Structure formats: structure tokens, C-alpha cells
Amino acid sequence: MIHNEFSIMKLDWSHTVINIKDREKILDFYTNTLGFKISDNGPIVENGPEIIFISQNPNEHHQLAFVLGREEVGNQTSLNHISFRVETFDELKEVKEKFDSINHDYMPLCHGNALSFYFSDPEKNGIEIFIDTPWDVDQPQGIPWDPELDEKSALEWVEETFKNEPGFIKKEESSKEFVNRK
């Protein structure tokens, strides 16, 4: 049974912890490619596995943490993906340029309310980096988009592609409770 009543408690995303196998590959990817900085590291318990904390936000001790000791990299984990929002289209294009420069695969996908890049880190953990669009639209939605488009063309494409989908509306005009209205 689904309850539509919400408690008073508000939960904000804090961090994600991922089990890893190859410390060097993971840290190289997250620090050099995605720009995170190591904020702390050490054994979880005496003689236990190492945990490495990283963040891009100086006000957050860690946004991600990695625990060494993952056995198999090829097996899918229970993690589907972690998602990061960027503020500008230029930042999203910067992600694309970094991936292109290291020949890293990514999938550009548009949800109507976001333009996203989906990709995997070196141990196949799923990641999404996205920018919000000005619109809300009923979810789920997902259509590949052309990452070569400039911002104006990309937003025109989003509007044209999703304008006839259920719930398509400017975010500031939406009465839905869960809309990112910045």
C-alpha cells in the first residue's frame, strides 16, 4: 500500500558509499576526471578495510566514500547509479569534453526535465551528471539527445520533443509538489 502522507522529517541526500576493488583506478577517475578531492581516509575499524572519503563541496566532509574489498568488478551491484547536478550547460559540456578526451563512453539521455550523461566509473558503478531544463514532465521519460548541440538548440529540441507528453509544463507554473523550481 502506498501512502501519500509525508512525515515532518525532511531528508536531504548526503552521500553514497561504493565498494571498490582498484583504489588507484577509482581515485584517478573521480579526482582527475570528475574533480573530487580526498577529504579523509583510513581503516573503518582496526585492521579493517580502508574507506576513502571524497567531496567537491568544501562544506561537506564527503559526498562519496569508497570501501576497499570488492571481490568481483564484472558482477552488477545493487547500486543503479549515483547522480550529480551541474548548474550550467557549459559545465555539462565540460563533462562531455573530458570524456571525449579520454575516450570514455557515455550515454546522453534526456528526461524532459533534465539533460543527462550516463556513464560508468572504472568498476562499472553507474553515474549520471545532469542539468535541469526549465520544464517538468511526467516521468519516467528517456530519449537520447545530441550532445553536439549548443544550449539554445538543445533546449529547443527538449521543448519540441516533450511538449506533447503528459504533464509537460514550465517548472515555475507547475503545482506538483516534487518539482525543482530553483
**Residues 124-133: tens digit of each pLDDT:** 888 899 999 9
Look at the chain and report how many structural domains it folds into.
2
Per-residue model confidence (pLDDT) at position 182: 56
Q: How far apart are CA 62 and CA 15, in angstroms?
A: 7
Instruction: Report DSSP letters for 33-87, one per residue.
Output: IT--EEEEEEESSTT--EEEEEES-TT-S-SEEEEE----SSS--S---EEEE-S
Q: Which residues of the chain have pLDDT under 50?
A: 6-7, 9, 11
Instruction: Tell me whether strands 135-136 and 82-85 are parallel, antiparallel or unpaired.
Output: unpaired
Q: Find the CATH number of the domain harbouring 133.
A: 3.10.180
Residue 51 sits in a domain whose CATH number is 3.10.180.10
At residue 110, the pLDDT reads 96
Task: Give pLDDT, residue 76.
Answer: 58
The whole-number pLDDT of residue 9 equals 43
**Does residue 169 share a domain with residue 140?**
yes
CA distance 127 to 129: 7
